[in-house]
A = this chain, B = another copy of it.
């Protein structure tokens, strides 16, 4: 935090005698107002606390929360730089009508703000920096021993991923049947909980990890509810009031972290205790409790949620088959008209279950299928380990061969159109994406071509491009000498004139990238 000059500090206190100057924070950073309050009764349910942060005509209403031992906090993520004033509201006199100001400084290096939807099907940070989502999944990584969690962070730091799917609650499932170090509620494991009393230590730990992810430039796609409990702890079957209280508590604590995304559930339809009406209520609670409109989604098992709901910012879809071959994934773009993220496309691994035994080649292929369709794909890894530490659930280290190829793809995405990769000729050409006239990526999937005569969708009179051959598996980029000029072939396509083929190595998983010599006017 930037320190304010003492003279200014004094001036503020002098001019606004009722205000406590709270300090400074950077834009999209997390400001925290700490107050002492009552400890009697049940502060989690009996004490109401919120604050309104105001700058000019804009204001943000942030819920506060009880952090134990008489400490109450209200967190705030300033959406703009400059001075913000706040005022608390509470049903307890000692927490009510507290006022003050803070200064939001310019964001420091690596802080691009929260991720938003841009260009209908894509993402960008609030400052405009494109965000091509390249996610992974470690459902229960924050419920592990300290050393393992630190190892996971080190792996993430070295890896290609800019998003991680992770559960707030611990997981009770194959390869995960152990008690975690912390629990979200007061009570006794496995299943005697007081759902009206949270354990702040659990959440402080979670926040610590989310903050570390933020500092690594990784989005935390927080899975708020999940079925991998099977009633063991019963966090999957709390009464509605329990769910709502929990959701509001999580949001009060974490909404001011710029790198959080809300995932209402993993495999929502596998939570058999919940009805469609429950999910509607849960969506409403989360949507209304978030003053920042973080990305918000819900992930399916076999039954898709109605992703047309405008409160869902993007469609988080499990369906590996949709990115297994050409012409599939893009269908979801048409029906939802929002970013499509295949948050589960099966896992690279050697599990007996068919959802957990993709080859690395297939995992990488699915990332490319998603890319060429104008969608995004998430990674996961399920190799059996003697210690049962499987990345998909506990984190640790990566053992597969896909991550470095995914890093190669991430560079291709970063060098791609700022608006994202879109199909150039939807429903007609399912292997060409990019931006018409400027940037083309043609993916050949499992074919093994030995040559390709450039041939692209379009109606331009002429197009001059440079080309590179990308071997997506061997991670090589080979420029083609000179430039290629394409001329109309028919009403729909352009082809190289003269029709000189680009030699290709006859291996699978090839792509050709073509970029305009001078951008289209």
Chain A: residues with CB nearer than 8 A to chain B? 302-304, 306-308, 319-322, 324-328, 331-332, 334-336, 352-354, 426-428, 430, 491-492
Contact residue among B307, B321, B332, B335 (Cβ-Cβ distance under 8 Å from A427): B321
Residue in chain B with minimal CB distance to A319: B427
- CA of A321 to CA of B426, assembled, Å: 9
CB of A422, distance to nearest CB on chain B (Å) = 13
Q: Residue on B with the closest CB to A303?
A: B334
The 5 lowest CB-CB distance pairs between A and B, nearest first, are: A321-B427, A304-B334, A331-B331, A335-B335, A308-B308
Bound CA–CA A353/B492 (angstroms) = 9
* A491→B328 contact, CB < 8 A: no
Docked complex Cα distance between A164 and B335 (Å)? 25
14 contacts between A and B (CB under 8 A): A302-B426, A302-B427, A304-B334, A304-B335, A306-B308, A308-B308, A319-B331, A321-B427, A321-B428, A324-B327, A327-B328, A331-B331, A352-B491, A354-B492
The listed residue with most B CB atoms (<10 A of its CB), out of A308, A325, A331, is A331
A326: which B residues are within 8 A, CB to CB? 325
CA distance A364 to B153 in the complex (A): 54
**What does DSSP make chain A's interface, helix, strand, loop or mixed?**
loop
Q: Are A427 and B320 in contact (CB under 8 A)?
A: yes
| Apart from A322-B327, A335-B336: 18 A-B pairs, beta carbons within 8 A | A303-B334, A304-B334, A304-B335, A320-B427, A321-B427, A321-B428, A322-B331, A322-B427, A325-B325, A325-B326, A325-B327, A331-B331, A332-B335, A335-B335, A352-B491, A353-B491, A354-B491, A354-B492
- A426 contacts across to B, CB distance below 8 A: 302
A393–B291 CA distance with the chains assembled, in angstroms: 54
Which B residues are CB-close (under 8 A) to A491?
352-354
Q: A308-B308, A492-B354 are in contact. Are A321 and B332 (CB under 8 A)?
A: no
Tell me, in angstroms, the Cα distance from A308 to B308 when the chains sit together: 8
CA distance A353 to B426 in the complex (A): 16
For A428, the chain B residues whose CB sits under 8 A away are 321, 354
Determine the distance from Cα of A491 to Cα of B427 in the docked complex, in whole angstroms.
Answer: 36
Bound CA–CA A353/B491 (angstroms):
8
| C-alpha gap A36/B404 in the complex (Å) | 82
Report the separation of the CA atoms of residues A171 and B306 in the bound assembly, to the nearest whole angstrom.
36
CA distance A325 to B306 in the complex (A): 25
Q: How far is the CA of A322 from the CA of B319 in the complex (A)?
A: 16
A267–B331 Cα distance when bound, in Å, is: 17
Q: How far is the CA of A430 from the CA of B328 in the complex (A)?
A: 12
CA distance A320 to B352 in the complex (A): 37
Report the separation of the CA atoms of residues A354 and B335 in the bound assembly, to the nearest whole angstrom.
23
How far is B336's CA from A308's CA once the two chains are assembled, in angstroms?
10
In the complex, how many angstroms separate the beta carbon of A335 from the nearest chain B beta carbon? 5
Which residues on the B side are within 8 Å of A303 (C-beta)? Answer: 334
Complex partner residue of A331 from B307, B328, B352, B353, CB under 8 angstroms = B328
Which of A306, A334, A354 neighbours the largest number of chain B CB atoms within 10 Å of its CB?
A: A334
Residues of B within 8 A of A321 (CB): 327, 427-428, 430
A344 nearest CB across to chain B (Å) = 11
- Min CB distance A423 to B, Å, is 10
Question: Which residue of chain B lies nearest to A307 when distances are taken between CB atoms in the complex?
Answer: B335
Query: Which residues does chain B contribute within 8 Å of A427, judged by CB atoms?
Result: 302, 319-322
Nearest opposing residue in chain B for A493, CB measure: B354
A100 nearest CB across to chain B (Å):
45
Q: Chain B residues with Cβ under 8 A from A306's Cβ?
A: 308
A302 to B331, CA, bound (A): 11
- Least CB separation from A492: chain B residue: B354
> Closest chain B residue to A305 by CB distance?
B335
Chain B residue contacts of A327, Cβ below 8 A: 321-322, 324-325, 328
Residues in B with CB closer than 8 Å to A353 are: 491
In angstroms, how far is the closest chain B Cβ from the Cβ of A402? 20
